[in-house]
């Protein structure tokens, strides 16, 4: 036997051993028994055969009004006998994951279905079903769909994916991305976890992304990121593509966040976030020395809202926050990631240092802790205002302006403290999430209906 043949077989055998060692026992037990030159052929096929039926393709159709500038002139309209505006249908494609087979619930990205007038879900079997939007959270970029119950009756039982523990992920763990890139059909790519807790990217309001080098392309949005045991550990949502294509940097919403948001949307159709009432800053070496703690031990509390949950629990400016909700807190990104999944009614444990001594307790969030949102995050015309959903039972319901900075954009447009936004572009808005969604569907200018001292006023602001 020639030396080159021996080298080839040795390399094949070593490659098979290394790949086999990287797979969990559940996968090893399901590996195919076929042999090639006496060597096993490890494969992800058994895992994918069990998982891919739970990943669906999503097609959306949106009615769009198109205006021809020439036809704004009545003379041209009469001459050509055509209307100034016409309707056309915009179509797009994405992906989704079945998370509840019995109720036909599909989790996807908000940007996939946010403006859709009609949604069609195609199962791995090829069956097409209409779906409706149960609720959405634009701040995290998640939406929950429900497949038509009558259409489901004619099909075999669905397959759903179970959520895995994304908090147990480590950099270097193997992952697989499943979705519908470029609308060509279900596609599988593999890679590793490149980084965890990515934030500050300006992609969404709340960011705590899993970064992966598994190829994620347009159309993969809303698809599944799974581990090698077939558990859902993320929802693919974005790529870093300076040239418009995949460059090995993709981002997924971690399962811990996605599962919490999906449950809130299933229960209530919206996400009622609480205001943590906290602001932190990282501990540099000087601060760590002054507080006699390690620089990476936690984060310094630089602001605590009076009367808020943190204030009621005894936290104060100058304390060092170590953990919140079981999550280590070292910077503002860690705090925002916890804020994304903290809802009204939650009880969130914390660990801190007060005057150098351990201090622990629980933050309890009630109706007084409703989320406050800076207007600048929503529209240029709201910059300088702070917004909050009205209390339950308020009439009319809407979004209150708690503060308006004199001289700010909101002030110059005529908005004042106590104003209540009750409609956007003629559509009623009852809460901040509803306001965020409607503003996301608006053009360069937005028509607001403002309730002030018992009367309604119309106001146009820049988006």
Q: Which residues are catalytic?
A: 111, 141, 221
Question: Strand, coil or helix: what is 171?
Answer: coil
User: What Rg do the C-alpha atoms of the chain give, in angstroms?
Assistant: 26
Q: For residue 12, report the phi and psi dihedrals to the nearest 5 degrees.
A: -60, -45
Question: Strand, coil or helix: what is 444?
Answer: coil
Q: Distance between CA atoms of 405 and 375, rounded to whole angstroms?
A: 11
The H or E element spanning position 125 is: none
SS (H, E, C) 277-314: CEEEEECCHHHHHHCCCCCCCCEEEEEECCCCHHHHCC
- DSSP for residue 370: B
Q: Which residues contact 279 (CB under 8 A, 6 or more apart)?
A: 301, 302, 303, 304, 332, 335
Q: Distance between CA atoms of 228 and 19, rounded to whole angstroms?
A: 12
Residue-wise DSSP of 26-86: HHHTTS---EETTEE---SHHHHHHHGGGEEEEEEEEEEEEE-GGGGSHHHHHHHT--SEE
Q: Distance between CA atoms of 317 and 315, rounded to whole angstroms?
A: 7
Cis peptide before 396 (omega within 30 of 0): yes
Q: For residue 67, report the phi and psi dihedrals to the nearest 5 degrees.
A: -115, 130
CB distance 335 to 315 below 8 Å: no
Give the residue among 155, 193, 201, 187 at the shortest CA–CA distance from 336: 201
N-to-C CA span, the chain: 74
Question: Strand, coil or helix: what is 225?
Answer: strand
Give the residue among 213, 224, 219 at the shortest CA–CA distance from 247: 213
Angle of CA points 255, 259, 262, to nearest 5°:
135
- Count of Cβ atoms closer than 10 Å to residue 163 Cβ: 20
């Amino acid at each position: 036997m020639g030396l080159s043949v021996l080298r080839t077989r040795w390399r094949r055998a070593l490659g098979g051993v290394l790949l086999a060692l990287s797979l969990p026992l559940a996968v090893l037990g399901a590996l195919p028994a076929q042999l090639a030159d006496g060597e096993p052929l490890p494969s992800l096929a058994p895992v994918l055969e069990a998982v891919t039926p739970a990943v669906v393709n999503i097609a959306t159709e949106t009615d769009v009004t198109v205006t021809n500038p020439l036809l704004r002139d009545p003379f041209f309209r009469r001459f050509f006998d055509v209307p100034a505006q016409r309707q056309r249908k915009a179509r797009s494609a994405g992906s989704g994951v079945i998370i509840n087979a019995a109720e036909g619930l599909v989790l996807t990205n908000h940007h996939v279905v946010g403006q859709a007038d009609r949604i069609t879900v195609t199962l791995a079997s090829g069956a097409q079903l209409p779906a409706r939007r149960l609720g959405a959270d634009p701040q995290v970029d998640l939406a929950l769909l429900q497949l038509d119950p009558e259409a489901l009756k004619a099909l075999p039982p669905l397959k759903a994916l179970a959520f895995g523990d994304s908090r147990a992920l480590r950099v270097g763990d193997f992952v697989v991305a499943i979705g519908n890139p470029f609308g060509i059909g279900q596609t599988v790519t593999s890679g590793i976890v490149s980084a965890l807790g990515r934030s500050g990217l300006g992609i969404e309001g709340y960011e705590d992304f899993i970064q992966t080098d598994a190829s994620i392309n347009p159309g993969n949005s809303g698809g599944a990121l799974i581990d090698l045991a077939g558990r859902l550990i993320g929802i693919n949502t974005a790529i870093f593509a300076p040239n418009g294509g995949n460059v090995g940097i993709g981002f997924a919403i971690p399962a811990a966040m996605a599962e919490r948001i999906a449950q809130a949307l299933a229960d209530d159709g919206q996400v009622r976030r609480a205001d943590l009432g906290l602001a932190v800053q990282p501990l540099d070496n000087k601060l760590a020395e002054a507080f006699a703690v390690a620089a990476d031990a936690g984060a310094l509390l630089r602001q605590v809202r009076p009367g808020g949950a943190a204030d009621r629990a005894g936290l104060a400016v100058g304390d060092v926050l170590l953990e919140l909700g079981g999550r280590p807190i070292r910077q503002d990104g860690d705090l925002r990631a916890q804020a994304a999944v903290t809802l009204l009614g939650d009880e969130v444990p914390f660990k801190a240092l007060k005057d150098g001594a351990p201090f622990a307790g629980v933050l309890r969030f009630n109706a007084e802790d409703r989320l406050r949102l800076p207007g600048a995050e929503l529209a240029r015309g709201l910059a300088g205002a702070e917004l909050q959903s009205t209390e339950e039972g308020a009439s009319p319901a809407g979004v209150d302006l708690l503060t308006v900075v004199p001289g700010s954009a909101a002030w110059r447009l005529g908005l004042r403290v106590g104003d209540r936004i009750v409609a956007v572009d003629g559509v009623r808005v009852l809460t901040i999430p509803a306001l965020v969604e409607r503003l996301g569907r608006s053009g360069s200018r937005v028509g607001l209906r403002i309730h002030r001292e018992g009367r309604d006023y119309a106001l146009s602001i820049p988006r």
